[in-house]
Structure 1
Amino acid sequence: MKYSAFFFLLLLTCLYLSLAQGSYENCCLKYVRNVPRHLRKTVTAYRIQETDGSCNIRAIVFIRNNGKVFCADPKIHWTNMLINRLKRANKEKKVKSGNL
């Protein structure tokens, strides 16, 4: 009886740890310090990560045209410049598609 209870607790512990690891799957855990300009030009979209649930830091998650992502500090100047460039590009796309 003792062994079955022990194995049951061991199984629950392993299950808990595997679920806890999965919660960080879509969260940035650290920032990149600097991104070369040629890589910034490949950014096509971004999303904002807030500090809620399992995400510990506020970050901007940039998505490149090949699907790779990197996380940046929203307080850094180049991060805000890149967000503004993406917003302008999206506005231009909407205007061009509306005129056709």
Structure 2
Amino acid sequence: MKFQALFFLLLLTSMYLSLAQGSYGNCCLGYVRLMKASTKRHIENYRMQETDGDCNIRAVVFLIRKKATQKYKRQRSICANPQDGWVQDILKNLNTRIKK
């Protein structure tokens, strides 16, 4: 009986610790400094990451189209500093392209 109680307590402790770590699955943890011109051409969309919840930095998350190897389209994301001039230029060009 003591073994079962100890096992149950250990199980609860490990579950609590795994939940307490938080999830950074959709958060940017750093910025890229520059982006190649070929990568800039493949930007499809973007989203803004604010400093709320689990995310610690404000960032622009560019959604980049990759070559489709199968029937579905693959995307990757690149995080950039919204204060950088080159990022603001991309956002301005992307907004005009999306509006059309």
Q: TM-score, normalised by structure 2?
A: 0.78
Q: Which amino acid aligns with 2:94?
A: L
Q: Which amino acid aligns with 1:57?
A: I
Give 1 or 2: higher helix fraction. 1
Q: 1:43 to 1:7 in 2, by over 3 A?
A: same
Q: TM-score, normalised by structure 1?
A: 0.78
Give the alignment's Cα RMSD to 1 decimal: 1.9
Indicate the percent of aligned positions where both proteins have the same amino acid.
50
The alpha-carbon deviation at position 3 of structure 1 amounts to: 4.3
CA distance in 1: counterparts of 2:58 and 2:8, whole angstroms: 38
Q: 1:56 to 1:64 in 2, by over 3 A?
A: same
Q: Which runs of 5+ in 1 are unaligned?
A: 93-100
Q: 1:18 to 1:36 in 2, by over 3 A?
A: same
Name segments (4+ residues, structure 1) moved above 6 Å.
Answer: none
1:42 paired residue number: 42
Q: Number of aligned residue pairs: give it.
A: 92
2:60 paired residue number: 60
Q: 1:6 to 1:34 in 2, by over 3 A?
A: farther
Q: Which runs of 5+ in 2 are unaligned?
A: 67-74
The alpha-carbon deviation at position 53 of structure 1 amounts to: 0.5
